[in-house]
Amino acid sequence: MKIEEVSGGICAVKGVRAYGIKEGSKGLALIEGGGKATGVFTLNKLKAAPLLFTKRQLENGRISAVIANSGCANSFTGEQGMKNAEKMAELVASALGVIKEEVAVLSTGPIGAQLNMALIEQQLGEVAEGLTSDDTGSTEAAKAIMTTDTFHKEHAVSIDAGNAERVVIGGIAKGSGMIFPDMATMLSFIYTDAALSEEALRKCLKDAVDNSFNMIVVDGDMSTNDMVLLVATGRSVTVTEADFKAGLNQVCKALAKQIARDGEGATKLIEVRVKGAVADAKNIAREILRSPLVKSAIFGEHIDLMCGRIIATIGSSAAYVNSKGMSISVRNENADAILAVKKGEFMDLSDSARNIMKGKELFIDVDMAAGEEIEVTAWGCDLSYDYVRINAGK
């Protein structure tokens, strides 16, 4: 089995057309492509209207089109919010000739305001006319759903299914702040032309989300609107569940890392790997990335402060700790590396060690030396002055 990265995002998938526009802070994306569908949703108890609406739509097990707006979350908007979500589905059904029950609706933006339905209806006419299977369709749809994102996010892979046949998995995503597992203020639409059962799609998506989107942390806050949708057009051949899962994990991890890299105000992408824990390795990795003290030390490029704060974070967790065996190593994208903590003791963290922190990508390996050699990975970013400015509304 061979997996290769390909261009085109969601439009690399047979049977998918997409497009989007952005007018100031208000954007609209439309994706056309019918097939079996499943989704994963935020665990926030105050779920937004479009999320509740789309969960209901997915009970049919099939989606023919997706509409997503940016600039307004349609969250905490009462009965009118639900009516507006349904109206968006009706507009798409009329424009594309699909049934309303097979339209997924998503929104992202500030909480508490009602949608500008006149603007959405106006934008929809232009977007529907622009639908295309060219690479530009995926890119424009990805740009349309951006909020505080600084770049659009898309990724696609091709899986060798044998007999010169290939299956494609492509995705787009948005997300920059209010990012924490289960999930974050993020949306992702993933399409494949593989022929798979609905049950296989559901199992593979859960596994992929657990290992990607649920392993990114920007600020520790959970949104009301997060959703990942997976739609299989079935236009290609059957692929084994194991091969599809491997490809889907690759797409989701690539998108998750792009979200972490684009964290609000971020100057560094951080990858944390934890091994040797008795249990809760995932929680340890995420708590390290959630700590504002750790993130601030990384922004300040202080390796000694960072390591001390990582130790404090681990010690305050519920995990079993082997203080005399724990080690922490740090490297950057230039392969500069140091063993910062060895078997519970700090090593020499002089100027040469501090220079490692100047990299734009930091890889922090924590060996708990307390349990199994299972390794987990999580991604996040530093905490800069700009994060406060952005979220203060300045």
- Alpha-carbon distance values, 21 to 7, 133, 208, 242, 308 (Å): 21, 16, 29, 37, 46
Contact 95/87 with Cβ under 8 angstroms?
no
Question: Are 247 and 315 in a shared domain?
Answer: no
Question: Are 337 and 205 in a shared domain?
Answer: no
Q: What whole-number distance in Å separates Cα of residue 205 and Cα of residue 199?
A: 10
Q: Residue 187 is encoded by which pair of tokens?
A: 């949306």
Residue 219: pLDDT band with limits 50, 70, 90: low
Q: Is residue 89 part of a domain?
A: yes
Q: What whole-number distance in Å separates Cα of residue 303 and Cα of residue 161?
A: 46
Question: Are 203 and 88 in a shared domain?
Answer: yes
DSSP state of 134: S
pLDDT of 58 strictly over 90? yes
Q: How far apart are the first and last CA of the chain?
A: 50
pLDDT of 356 strictly over 80? yes
Q: What whole-number distance in Å separates Cα of residue 272 and Cα of residue 288?
A: 8
Contacts of 157 (CB under 8 A, 6+ apart): 3, 4, 5, 6, 168, 169, 170, 247, 250, 251
Question: Are 50 and 165 in a shared domain?
Answer: yes
pLDDT of amino acid 183 = 37
Q: What whole-number distance in Å separates Cα of residue 38 and Cα of residue 153?
A: 21
Question: Are 278 and 239 in a shared domain?
Answer: no
Q: Which residue do the tokens 């922090």 mark?
A: 364
pLDDT of 372 strictly over 60? yes
Q: What whole-number distance in Å separates Cα of residue 31 and Cα of residue 359?
A: 38
Question: Are 191 and 92 in a shared domain?
Answer: yes
Question: Are 193 and 49 in a shared domain?
Answer: yes
Q: Is residue 173 part of a domain?
A: yes
Residues pairing with 232 in the sheet:
36, 192
Q: Which residue do the tokens 């979350």 mark?
A: 73
Residues 235-251 pLDDT 10s: 988 899 999 999 999 99
Q: Is residue 260 part of a domain?
A: no
Percent of the chain with pLDDT over 90: 73
pLDDT of amino acid 320 = 77
pLDDT of amino acid 217 = 85
Question: Are 134 and 229 in a shared domain?
Answer: yes
Question: Are 84 and 107 in a shared domain?
Answer: yes
Pick the catalytic residue: 42, 185, 224, 233? 185
Q: Is 185 a catalytic residue?
A: yes
Residues 289-315 pLDDT 10s: 999 999 999 999 999 999 999 999 998
Q: Is residue 264 part of a domain?
A: no
Q: Residue 141 is encoded by which pair of tokens?
A: 């749809």
Across the range 25-48, mean pLDDT stands at 93
Residue 202's domain comprises 3-255
Residue 323: pLDDT band with limits 50, 70, 90: confident
Count of structural domains, the chain: 2
Q: What whole-number distance in Å separates Cα of residue 245 and Cα of residue 243?
A: 5
Residues belonging to the chain: 394
Q: Is residue 15 part of a domain?
A: yes
Q: Is residue 356 part of a domain?
A: yes
Question: Are 238 and 273 in a shared domain?
Answer: no
Q: What whole-number distance in Å separates Cα of residue 182 and Cα of residue 187?
A: 12
